[in-house]
Amino acid sequence: MFEIFASPDAWMALLTLTFLEIILGIDNIIFISIAAGKLEKKDRKKATNIGLFLAMGMRIVLLFGITWLTKMKKPFLILDESWITGGLSWQAVILFAGGLFLLYKSTKEIREKIEDKGHDEREVTKSRSNSLTNAIVQITVINIVFSFDSILTAIGMTNGISPNPTDALILMITAVVISVVIMMLFANPVGEFVNRHPSVQVLGLSFLILIGFMLITEAAHLSHLVVFDNEIGAIPKGYLYFTIAFSIMVEFFDLRMRKNKVKTKEATVKE
């Protein structure tokens, strides 16, 4: 059942996916905190913990649902035109729609983080409630909205890792559980780190653009699409892992350099 963890690709996918799930989950933590903001102090932590459990449960349920839908590989529409040929299946349609959603969502989120900071926080603050029950209902709605990009990212990262769909599902659920546990244990430090370094979150959202594009090409590949006599192939996962690892390394070095500059400046001022 757990043979998937014997594969180096699976471990790379798990680490990358856990990182992305945490980055995507930061907004969830912030919005859960805002939704619970008007509650009494004793109820805030309770609402936040319930919210995170709901987030984990919602993502796992959606993983089962979308994974089941992606098993529908039989073409329901055959394209046979002079410029395009192929067979569309529900699996391809779901991956294609998911890719478009990730491209839209990540681009919109990057724009809001750079040009319209606090947009989502304002929307949540407008309707937050004094009642614990109402706050939990609002948190549930927030979780549904914020679960889709997380689930589609998981599917994009694990699609093709193993011929057995159950292996990919185990990998995705493991990443979701680990990320939620980390957020529950280190919600404040992780949130503060990302708020201090917004470039980390923008970097994570940029990865979603890559994953969205990869989902679109994967959908075309599964449909055996030939456009203007050119067959569309899938993007090898190794390219994606290398790009993400290289970007994280560059960001890490940049953070270290900025930290060292601050220390040098403080030391100069003291002298």
Please state which of the ranges 118-132, 171-185, 234-248 shows the lowest mean pLDDT.
118-132
Q: Can you tell me the mean pLDDT for 36-52?
A: 70
Q: Which residues pair with 84 in a beta bridge?
A: 227
**Spatial distance between the Cα atoms of 143 and 193, rounded to a whole number of angstroms:** 22
198-222 and 165-196 helices, crossing angle to 10°: 160
55 in Cβ contact with 33 (< 8 Å): no
Instruction: Report the SS3 class of residue 164.
Output: coil
Q: Which phi and psi (to 5°) does residue 197 adopt? A: -125, 75
Could you read off the pLDDT of 62-80 as tens digits, one per residue? Answer: 778 777 776 777 888 888 8
Closest CA to 206 of 243, 233, 172, 242: 243
Separation CA 218–CA 99 (nearest Å): 9
Asked whether the beta carbons of 41 and 170 are under 8 A apart, the reply is no
Rg of the chain over Cα atoms, rounded to whole angstroms, equals: 21
Whether 92 contacts 219, CB under 8 Å: yes
219, pLDDT greater than 80: yes
Do 163 and 3 form a contact (C-beta atoms < 8 A)?
no
For the entire predicted model, the pTM comes to 0.67
